Amino acid sequence: MAVRSTRTDGGSTLPGPPGEVHPVDGLLPPVKLFTTGLQHVAAMYAGVVAPPLIVGAGVGLTPAELALLISASLFTAGLATLLQTLGVWRIGARLPFVNGVSFAGVAPMLAIAKEHGPKDALPVVFGAVIVAGILCFLAAPYFCKLVRFFPPVVQGTVITLIGVSLLPVAVNWARGGTPGTPGYGSMRSIGLAALTLVAVVACTKLLRGFWQQLALLIGLAVGTLAAFPLHLADFGAVGDAQVFALPSPFHFGAPKFDAAAIVSLCIVMIVSMTESTADMLALGRIVDRPADERTLAAGLRADGLATAVSPVFNGFACSAFAQNIGLVALTGIRSRFVVATGGGILVLLGLFPVLGSLVSLVPAPVLGGAGIVLFGTVAASGIRTLAEAGLESSANTILVSVSLGVGIIPIAAPTFYDAFPEAVRTLMHSGISAGCVAAVLLNLLFHHVGTARRSPTAEAAGAAVSTATPS
């Protein structure tokens, strides 16, 4: 019988000799920690700065105020990632799990800005975000019990959808990032994305060991250097950036609490909790440390606490960044301290805007080329999970096919749910949350309700119910 070693943080036990350190808890040499942590920052940077850019423009902020909002998002994303990876008490999943600004809240925040006007928009948004974060923190130990409704067939479906949902983002980056801007969709942009993609693939094929694990970072560097002669990158942003800037608490005014705004952001938070749960389950499978109820509750508490505190420093709701799961799968580096190092780099980028401007030199097409590899890797991980989930069962085949179809609807037709009530639009606008809800409901129908629950065949086809220790 295999001997199991015990985690010191109260999480699940793991196979292995007594005292053996799991790769998730392994500490890498300093140079490797920094370079691989920097890869995670490069993979998520565009996703962190996009929401404040969009919301700031919608509110009508000046360039200086917009720079402050971006720095705040980087700073709070770093704090949230450190909390998630290192953990305090029962807060933090202690997995290589990246947190950043949730994109799910952008549309509701723009609607709040339109209703309340530029002067009160951000205080109202920040008040609603604080309440939504508190809701997430308090609901975490109850929400995590849904893990028993996420057997491998559901997990595989959701992981696949995470990758598929992100691929259009990579394609848009490859074309230039923002439709309507000069050069969007040009051969220069697409060619630069292709060069980056080829560089990543070539590094993965030709390099070995540590250098192979840096394939993404090398590809980003090759693409960025090639962007300069193509006039797709310049150092202008570096010259204009401040060297150092401390976060100014409630710079845009004290938070205001509006009932409608609070309801809207709480719905967004529930959607983010669903996605974070799916992401933690996916990451747990990839790093060979399955996420049990205790881990999920701790991870959701970190999401909630980071979200509640973020507005103090002019930040928004924090949630999981699925693209970094692809990077963990691609590199095979499972250490949570690598991602914690990335969190530390994000904090520095927030405190030293000039450093953030250096990272922003990476043009959108370069991120697009790398994103195709990253997001495709996530989808491939989902397919691998599905291959182990018993698809010979007709019930599971229907579950996967319908859930994938529902999840792809908002990807293929982004305006499909425009005529639906706002609560439905918020939930179903994300292919990840839409497909996740469909998969969970179908799993309930086929494996938990009525005769299916009593059928030995159905029991074998469905995944085992979680026996994790309650939080």
pLDDT tens-digit readout, 275-299:
788 889 889 989 999 999 999 999 9
Instruction: Judge whether residue 336 has pLDDT over 50.
Output: yes
Mean pLDDT of 311-333: 87
Environment class of residue 259 by beta-carbon count within 10 Å: exposed (0-12), middle (13-18) or buried (19+)?
Answer: exposed
Give me 85's structure tokens: 């990876």
Question: What CA–CA distance (Å, rounded) separates 173 from 66?
Answer: 21
pLDDT for residue 295: 94
Question: What CA–CA distance (Å, rounded) separates 445 from 453?
Answer: 9
Question: What CA–CA distance (Å, rounded) separates 405 from 290?
Answer: 27
With CA atoms as reference, report the closest residue to 41 among 321, 398, 381, 287.
321
Residues 6 or more apart in contact with residue 253 via CB below 8 angstroms: 120, 122, 123
Between 359 and 8, whose confidence is greater?
A: 359
Lowest mean pLDDT among 80-89, 326-335, 395-404, 445-454: 445-454
- The per-residue DSSP string of 399-463 comes to HHHHHHHHHHHHHH-TTTTTTS-HHHHHHHSSHHHHHHHHHHHHHHHHHTSTHHHH-HHHHHHSP
pLDDT for residue 447: 86
pLDDT for residue 471: 39
pLDDT for residue 359: 64
The structural domains of the chain, with segments of one domain joined by +, span 27-389, 390-462
Q: What confidence tier does 19 reach under pLDDT thresholds 50, 70, 90? A: low
Integer distance in angstroms from the first to the last C-alpha of the chain?
A: 28
| pLDDT tens string 205-254 | 998 877 887 888 788 889 989 998 988 877 766 666 677 888 889 999 99
Q: Are 281 and 291 within 8 A, CB to CB?
A: yes
Report for 94-103, 154-163, 263-272, 375-384: range of highest mean pLDDT: 94-103
Burial 194-217 (b: 16+ CB within 10 A, else e): bbbbebbeebbeeeeeeeebbbbb
Question: What CA–CA distance (Å, rounded) separates 439 from 400?
Answer: 7
CB atoms within 10 A of CB 4: 13
pLDDT for residue 241: 67
Instruction: Judge whether residue 341 has pLDDT over 90.
Output: yes
CB atoms within 10 A of CB 31: 9
Element housing 4 (H / E): strand 4-5
Instruction: Judge whether residue 350 has pLDDT over 80.
Output: yes
Between 468 and 355, whose confidence is greater?
A: 355
Instruction: Judge whether residue 1 has pLDDT over 60.
Output: no
Q: Are 77 and 99 within 8 A, CB to CB?
A: yes
Between 168 and 127, whose confidence is greater?
A: 127
Question: What CA–CA distance (Å, rounded) separates 314 from 76?
Answer: 9
What is the percent of the chain where pLDDT is above 90?
Answer: 34
Instruction: Judge whether residue 110 has pLDDT over 90.
Output: no
Q: What is the mean pLDDT of the chain?
A: 82
Between 371 and 26, whose confidence is greater?
A: 26
Give me 455's structure tokens: 């059928």
Query: What is the rounded radius of gyration, in angstroms, for the C-alpha atoms of the chain?
Result: 22
Instruction: Judge whether residue 202 has pLDDT over 90.
Output: yes
**How does DSSP classify residue 100?**
E
Residues 6 or more apart in contact with residue 401 via CB below 8 angstroms: none
Instruction: Judge whether residue 366 has pLDDT over 80.
Output: yes
Q: What confidence tier does 338 reach under pLDDT thresholds 50, 70, 90? A: very high
Q: What confidence tier does 18 reach under pLDDT thresholds 50, 70, 90? A: low
Mean pLDDT of 133-143: 94
With CA atoms as reference, report the closest residue to 104 among 317, 262, 406, 278.
317
Question: What CA–CA distance (Å, rounded) separates 200 from 316?
Answer: 32
Mean pLDDT of 249-278: 86
Answering whether pTM is above 0.75, one says no
Between 330 and 140, whose confidence is greater?
A: 140
Mean pLDDT of 9-27: 65
Give me 89's structure tokens: 């008490």
With CA atoms as reference, report the closest residue to 132 among 27, 268, 254, 4.
268
Lowest mean pLDDT among 185-194, 314-323, 353-362, 427-436: 353-362
Mean pLDDT of 363-389: 83
Q: What confidence tier does 352 reach under pLDDT thresholds 50, 70, 90? A: confident
